[in-house]
Amino acid sequence: MTTAVTARAHTNIALVKYWGKADATLMLPQTSSLSLTLDQFYTDTTVAFDPTLTADQVTVNQVRLDEHASRKVRHVLDLVRTQADRPTFARVSSTNHVPMAAGLASSASAFAALAGAASRAAGLDLSSRDLSRLARRGSGSATRSIFGGFVEWHAGHDDASSYAEPLVESVTWPVAMVALVLDAHRKKVSSRQGMQTSVATSPYYPAWKQVVAHDLAAIKPAILDQDFTTVGEILETNAMRMHALTLSADPAYSYFNGATLQAMQTVRDLRAAGVACYYTLDAGPNLKIFCQVADLPAITARFRQDLGAEQVIVAHPGPGLSWR
């Protein structure tokens, strides 16, 4: 069978972060996490299993990946082949509409789209939960990108129990996330390597697990109540406490640069001037600012003046996985 299947998945930004694995083979996290899927950043992936191929062929943004660069993709394809009992190699072509490796989580949308396209191309008809489990094997944050809106990834304790589930899939709450592109270069410490160092060496790791448990319990009712201030305060402190795991690791590392610190100060200045907004950031220097739609003009005007119009991208809550 050589039917090509194309799937689209959107990135997500974690409001309560995942930072550490409990099992690197099964990709089980140390803690649960919660994210918002974004409409502006997404990946389209086409997969076709082709009996004439003698190896998997993986192309990302029109560039053919070598064996090393394609290993995570081939790992997910192997899992699909095992589930479908189909030994055929595949052609994979992926286009990222995301600034890659700058902490805008291109791996989340990429592996969610791959799970959707590869499973259907192999003739599997997986539930959303099983797609989420499959995406997890490619990249942890991809577990959540199967769903739209506010999504929780339950850490679980084995392959079957570690999956994501939507908290609010169709978001009517008028909130937005303003992404500031402060540096679009590839990060120096990968998430995978960074979180491994933090789990192994940060003396604050046990405290982080308590922080996550507390923040998850508090943020879920606040999201359901559309309590903007509570959600904003939790996501900002949670992000800073995650980044404390980088600074407290041995060797220490950091994803912040000078522009990151300046932009954080600008968010605090905006708040002091009465514009409600809160920042978060992932494994890169780029801030994402959580705000209410009504405040977008004030926030974007301020950052476009500081950074230039193209460095300020407005995203809204986005949809889950779809097939084209």
In the complex, which residues of this chain contact ligand 2P0 (CB under 6 A)? 14, 17-19, 33, 105, 107, 139-141, 191-192, 282-283
Least distance CB 83 / ligand 2P0 (angstroms): 20
Determine contact, residues 146/128, Cβ cutoff 8 Å.
yes
Say how many residues make up the chain.
324
Nearer to ligand 2P0 by C-beta: 93 or 107?
Answer: 107
Least distance CB 1 / ligand 2P0 (angstroms): 29
Nearer to ligand 2P0 by C-beta: 43 or 141?
Answer: 141
Nearer to ligand 2P0 by C-beta: 5 or 9?
Answer: 9
Residue, CB closest to ligand 2P0: 140
Q: Return the H-helix or E-strand segment holding 15.
A: strand 5-16
Least distance CB 242 / ligand 2P0 (angstroms): 6
Q: Find the helix packing angle between 106-121 and 128-136, rounded to 10°.
A: 120
Determine contact, residues 287/276, Cβ cutoff 8 Å.
no
d(CA 83, CA 121): 12
Nearer to ligand 2P0 by C-beta: 19 or 208?
Answer: 19
Least distance CB 280 / ligand 2P0 (angstroms): 9
Report H helices in 258-295: 258-272
d(CA 199, CA 33): 16
Nearer to ligand 2P0 by C-beta: 49 or 290?
Answer: 290
Pairing of strands 90-97, 57-60: parallel
Least distance CB 294 / ligand 2P0 (angstroms): 27
